[in-house]
A and B are shown apart, each in its own frame.
Chain A
């Protein structure tokens, strides 16, 4: 049914992604779909990487690790943003087009008060992406 799954990941908070990563791998195995793990990075040095090249390398290693762990076909795509705090959604939406994915599986928190003011990334992607979007809670 789906051939190409895009899985947005925040490498700085991998511990919070376990549920979505498992769902992604299960769906990929079920349909034999390819998975592209997408990370949003920036040019300035951050907690994870000193520069964009290092960020791309880390993301690639993460994708390879997931492929081996779950026995799926996976690669990585680094989306760059000038101001990641406010531009994650736009960067991810561009990545949906760039990867040509037909399904996005992403983690999102349980909505709270602040989501009325700042909608979650998952909510914005679901509202604007052309591909199908599965938002995984918890």
Chain B
């Protein structure tokens, strides 16, 4: 791929630096209709990605053990052998984004010098946040700080010179205050700048090459500076198919796990039976709401749901902050930020680490997971970010969500940890992952209401991931067209729910496919590194305009 096309970015003409290509958006598409359903699909991305997904699902169902072994072997290989690569790449992405904020390249406006933003700050922020990590915050908000706190308190243990404990860095054996700071710093590291830098890179690359260069809104466009016109051929097909693949399986597995977790919450609250029937009903319900949302479109569906979600999440946050240990949380917020800054150099160090379990089982896993989600979240962020300057974009996508995550973790995790330290209440510490949030809320007033809000949030966050994911897959498989016929997005939305149900009903199907999705993080890390180069080259061409 070294023979890059010198004509990739032509000299800018006028104020819009359009790339001069003969490719017409939709030229490879097949426009037809099946019965009353109109279709406008990219040939061959739609068919290849659809058929590959069906083939993988059948493989997982027909040979569950073999598939499980193969996927988990590839998962171990990727997260254990390439931990240094993921960590280094993550650091590069953060530094690259920060560089864009401070250099003059940050002045470039997405959509042309005079473009005005499509959405207000509230709507924009709600959508990028809901698609990005909403659901994770619900489940890991209590679980992750608590887990790191406990393992740090446990100190380090080794066998044959290899660490067997899960404590971050050197742990903090028996020292409560240090264990809290280390646990929170490790959590913030996983949810702060690094994941959002990953999303920002993909989103910026897509927005720049679509809104400023006039290329279709699909992943392959960001490769134009490197591949030139070849990007419209098989290279591009492979890149787009991989993106569809990662997005659909990422969403389906999350949908499956999310249903399991929502089921656990409903069981805790209402005694609803735990089992496949409830879970299938939950997935069907979530898919049905997502379907209504995609039929109502970006403004009438996705945006409205995202805003409702943000409002509810904010209310829950404010409630826990006020009735929980308010002072401890507020002082903790600043202290945890400082702890993050203090531990960041060691946590992000890619080589010579002794805390292998933490490094590979948590950090490396997260980085692969965020990266495999990046085509979907990045593309969705790009879709709603026209009209922002690069500097404004990076600050809003990188810094603001990071701060909100710190606040969220401080409030939820901090409250749960204070319950352990001050009250000796260990139910949240001892509970399984999916119940930790509800056990923490048990100790606060109005438990029934707050737990219900918690479950509603979990479900609506899934709907907002599912509907935005369907729009993204629909756009990629329509060759970057955003005005493909409605039945197509309906198809992807239902397909996603169906894949989730099929995998949920097969033993270990979800877990093994999740391993495989995470494995796609490795090739996508390379894709992201190429995107950094493309962004830099593309922005420099804009500046000369």
Contact across chains for B118 and A82 when beta carbons are under 8 A apart: yes
B485 contacts the other chain (CB 8 A): yes
Interface with A: B18-26, B336-344, B402-410, which one? Answer: B18-26
Contact across chains for B112 and A46 when beta carbons are under 8 A apart: no
Q: Knowing A51-B214, A53-B16, A86-B297 touch, does A46 contact B481 (C-beta < 8 A)?
A: yes
Q: How far is the CB of A89 from chain B (nearest CB, A)?
A: 10
B489 contacts the other chain (CB 8 A): yes
Q: Which of A47, A50, A83 contacts B299 (CB 8 A)?
A: A83
Contact across chains for A50 and B295 when beta carbons are under 8 A apart: no
B273 contacts the other chain (CB 8 A): no
B483 contacts the other chain (CB 8 A): yes
- Bound-state Cα–Cα, A51 to B215, Å: 10
- Bound-state Cα–Cα, A85 to B301, Å: 13
By a CB distance below 8 angstroms, the chain A residues around B36 are 112-114
B300 contacts the other chain (CB 8 A): yes
Mask, B285-321, CB within 8 Å of A = 1, is 0000000000111111100000000000000000000
By a CB distance below 8 angstroms, the chain B residues around A42 are 482-483
Task: Tell me the count of chain A residues lying within 8 A, CB to CB, of chain B.
Answer: 20
B interface: dominant SS: loop
Mask, A48-60, CB within 8 Å of B = 1, is 0011010000000
Q: How far is the CB of B212 from chain A (nearest CB, A)?
A: 8
Contact across chains for B217 and A87 when beta carbons are under 8 A apart: no
A44 contacts the other chain (CB 8 A): yes
Contact across chains for A50 and B214 when beta carbons are under 8 A apart: yes
By a CB distance below 8 angstroms, the chain B residues around A85 are 297, 482-486, 489
Q: B486: nearest residue on chain A (CB-CB)?
A: A85
- Bound-state Cα–Cα, A43 to B489, Å: 19
- Bound-state Cα–Cα, A43 to B215, Å: 12
B378 contacts the other chain (CB 8 A): no
B391 contacts the other chain (CB 8 A): no
Q: Which of A54-90 contact B (CB under 8 A)?
A: 82-87, 90
Q: Knowing A47-B26, A51-B16, A51-B111 touch, does A83 contact B214 (C-beta < 8 A)?
A: no
B109 contacts the other chain (CB 8 A): no
Q: Which of B15-68 contact A (CB under 8 A)?
A: 16, 18, 24-26, 36-37
By a CB distance below 8 angstroms, the chain B residues around A113 are 36
- Bound-state Cα–Cα, A128 to B18, Å: 39
By a CB distance below 8 angstroms, the chain A residues around B485 are 85
Mask, B194-236, CB within 8 Å of A = 1, is 0000000000000000110011110000000000000000000
Give the most central of B118, B216, B482, B484: most A CB within 10 Å. B482
Q: Which of A12-58 contact B (CB under 8 A)?
A: 42-47, 50-51, 53
Q: Which of A45, A82, A87 contacts B480 (CB 8 A)?
A: A45
Q: Knowing A45-B216, A46-B481 touch, does A86 contact B25 (C-beta < 8 A)?
A: no
By a CB distance below 8 angstroms, the chain A residues around B25 are 45-47
Q: Which of A43, A46, A112 contacts B211 (CB 8 A)?
A: A43
Q: Knowing A85-B483, A85-B485, A118-B486 touch, does A47 contact B24 (C-beta < 8 A)?
A: yes
A interface: dominant SS: loop
- Bound-state Cα–Cα, A50 to B215, Å: 7
- Bound-state Cα–Cα, A113 to B35, Å: 10
Q: Knowing A45-B25, A45-B210, A50-B18 touch, does A84 contact B483 (C-beta < 8 A)?
A: yes
By a CB distance below 8 angstroms, the chain B residues around A84 are 482-483
Contact across chains for B18 and A87 when beta carbons are under 8 A apart: no
Q: Which of B16, B24, B115, B217 contacts A44 (CB 8 A)?
A: B217
Contact across chains for B111 and A43 when beta carbons are under 8 A apart: yes
By a CB distance below 8 angstroms, the chain A residues around B216 are 45
Q: How far is the CB of A99 from chain B (nearest CB, A)?
A: 21
B383 contacts the other chain (CB 8 A): yes
By a CB distance below 8 angstroms, the chain B residues around A90 are 300
B386 contacts the other chain (CB 8 A): yes
By a CB distance below 8 angstroms, the chain B residues around A83 are 297-299, 471, 482
Q: A43: nearest residue on chain B (CB-CB)?
A: B386
Q: Which of A45, A47, A87, A118 contacts B214 (CB 8 A)?
A: A45
Q: Which of A45, A53, A86, A114 contacts B217 (CB 8 A)?
A: A45
Q: B382: nearest residue on chain A (CB-CB)?
A: A44
Mask, A81-124, CB within 8 Å of B = 1, is 01111110010000000000000000000001110001000000
- Bound-state Cα–Cα, A118 to B489, Å: 14
- Bound-state Cα–Cα, A83 to B295, Å: 11
Q: B212: nearest residue on chain A (CB-CB)?
A: A51
Contact across chains for A44 and B37 when beta carbons are under 8 A apart: no
By a CB distance below 8 angstroms, the chain A residues around B217 are 44-45
Mask, B76-87, CB within 8 Å of A = 1, is 000000000000
Contact across chains for B211 and A51 when beta carbons are under 8 A apart: yes
Q: Which of B26, B118, B486 contacts A43 (CB 8 A)?
A: B118
A-B contacts, 10 of them at CB < 8 A, read A42-B482, A42-B483, A44-B383, A44-B480, A45-B214, A45-B215, A45-B480, A47-B24, A47-B25, A47-B481
Extra contacts besides A47-B24, A83-B471, A85-B485 (14): CB < 8 Å: A42-B483, A43-B111, A43-B115, A43-B211, A44-B386, A45-B210, A50-B16, A51-B18, A82-B384, A83-B298, A86-B297, A114-B36, A114-B37, A118-B486
What is B's interface to A at a CB cutoff of 8 Å? 16, 18, 24-26, 36-37, 111-112, 115, 118, 210-211, 214-217, 295-301, 383-384, 386, 471, 480-486, 489
What is A's interface to B at a CB cutoff of 8 Å? 42-47, 50-51, 53, 82-87, 90, 112-114, 118
